[in-house]
Structure 1
């Protein structure tokens, strides 16, 4: 049985959207879905309750604690860890599970990204035009809202120390030949609707990469000028987007420096605009 663990902190606006797509074509009992409402002050648990899922609650607003609780309750493998604010179809869950269940298959898998960008401001569209072309972004499991593992992969990520960038840490825990991006699976990611919310995401990302570099032997993923030049060399039309990306990166790095100096790796700068 495929298990799906969904940590959800104040996700009443979007948890139903995820569960609708995930369960729409699923046979009764095909998926073991565990929603862990953690530290919620809204109706997340109530919204999830009518679906064919198990809902756990904890007063502790912690994604790591929610994942631990969900893991302990989950019944099967392959196992998916899914962010509550994305959209994922029944077919995509099946595709991920099929790859992981294959003999001699990978330890971990993730879906292709589909970014919602149609009505976003130019700066946001420009930023993601570059971000999605970065080699480590294209190959990594992070930033997709879903990480799927078999039992061996689960043991690997459960051994990781706590980290704000839990999906990046999980991605880096697997070598390229131990993980795969499944072309037959897609996750719809809601990008920020405002530049201010984009900055919140990027400050959080830079802070969390710094935490990984300071608390583990694994180097985080950073983008350099060589990466941007390589993208523009291949697609000259993106020179303006590359300049916008660099500007956002510089501003986010400056803002993240304050949290890094203070050793603040717990403040979660949340993008609320993508949940509207």
Structure 2
């Protein structure tokens, strides 16, 4: 198979202590790629493990920085990119080459931003956490957009709206809210393997981060188009027997707990503190 003269797409992966997953991510991405087709940059930010060495062994470009934080890392990687469109991929998410190409086609057809459809790998997830994830996926069906998929792609025009990326808790939320529904696309032919939080404690921590991230975006003027998830929507799923009563109770309990955790973080001034999400590792 001949080499590609110029890269077709640039890929930026922000990685903080991701030695256990970075090789899997990179191998999935390049499994059927032509030589030179992908321009991949891994940004090892404040790593204390072998993330950078493992990434280099996979023959991708690596940028190292002592500054922790995903938004900063994405900015550094973006500055190294050689091509458009550009994919921004989480280090613990698997996206194969064919899914990547399907996303490129969506951009070529006019989308300013697009994302894959997430497939959740629930291996190793506790029973109660699984109940939460099942309900959440039912509620989010048809309205996820660019958030929560572990990957999003931007055209050059879309990129110019998003970058320079501000230092925010939710980079994918910022991107999602930058585009109208007609400008962004969830690509049915593209799938990302996402590994959600494995324990109820990890789910609550992650959901608290999401809540704080959404509140931050509201303050920055990035208002959500969709209404927030509500009890009425959950009740409808229960009445239609799409969700069991016990699952619904577990879901509501987690929402109450994450609301309390988010409130505590705000009261202690920790709501804007960056931290890596390790709940799915």
- With the length of structure 1 as denominator, give the TM-score of the two structures: 0.93
SS at match of 2:146: coil
The aligned counterpart of 1:124 is: 129
Aligned with residue 45 of structure 2, among 30, 38, 49: 38
1:111 corresponds to: 116
How many angstroms apart in 2 are the aligned matches of 1:137 and 1:197? 25
State which drifts further: 133-142 or 191-200: 133-142
Return the alpha-carbon distance in structure 2 between the equivalents of residues 107 and 141 of structure 1: 12
Unaligned runs of 5+ in 1: none
Taking the aligned partners of 2:21 and 2:268, their CA distance within structure 1 comes to: 33
- CA positional deviation for 1:270: 4.0
Written as runs of structure 1 = structure 2, the 5 A alignment for 1:62-211 is 62-102=69-109, 105-135=110-140, 138-158=143-163, 161-211=166-216
Q: Point out where structure 2 has 5 or more consecutive residues left out of the alignment.
A: 1-7
Q: Which of 67-76 and 226-235 deviates more?
A: 226-235
2-side partners of 1:194 and 1:270: how far apart? 16
Give how far 1:272 is off: 2.6
**Residue correspondences, number:** 273
Alpha-carbon distance in structure 1 between the residues aligned to 2:241 and 2:54:
45
Alpha-carbon spacing, 1:177–1:167, altered in 2? closer, same or farther (3 Å) = same
Distance verdict in 2 for CA 1:149–1:114, change over 3 Å: same
Cα deviation code 1:233-257 (max 9, x no counterpart): 3335422212111100001101110
Tell me how far 1:274 sits from its aligned partner.
Answer: 1.7
SS of corresponding position for 1:113: strand
Contact kept? 2:212, 2:271, Cα under 8 Å: yes
Decide which structure has greater helix share: 1
CA distance in 2, matches of 1:237, 1:266: 34
**What residue number does 1:244 align with?**
250
Asked if the contact 2:28–2:96 (Cα under 8 Å) also holds between the matched residues in 1, the reply is yes
Q: 1:263 to 1:222 in 2, by over 3 A?
A: farther
Following superposition, the deviation at residue 160 of structure 1 comes to: 5.3
Number of the residue aligned with 2:62: 55
- Which has the larger displacement, 72-81 or 225-234? 225-234
Kindly tell me: are residues 151 and 180 of structure 1, through their superposed partners in 2, closer, same or farther at Cα, counting changes over 3 Å?
same
Summarize the Cα distance change of 1:49–1:179 in structure 2 as closer, same or farther, 3 Å threshold: same
C-alpha separation in 2, matches of 1:237 and 1:216: 34
**Farther off after superposition, 111-120 or 43-52:** 111-120
Q: Distance in 1 between matches of 2:122 and 2:190?
A: 19
- Matched-pair contact (CA < 8 Å) for 1:3–1:79: yes
* Structure 1 partner of 2:26: 19
Of the three residues 232, 236, 240, the one matched with 1:234 is 240
| C-alpha deviation, 1:268, in angstroms | 3.8
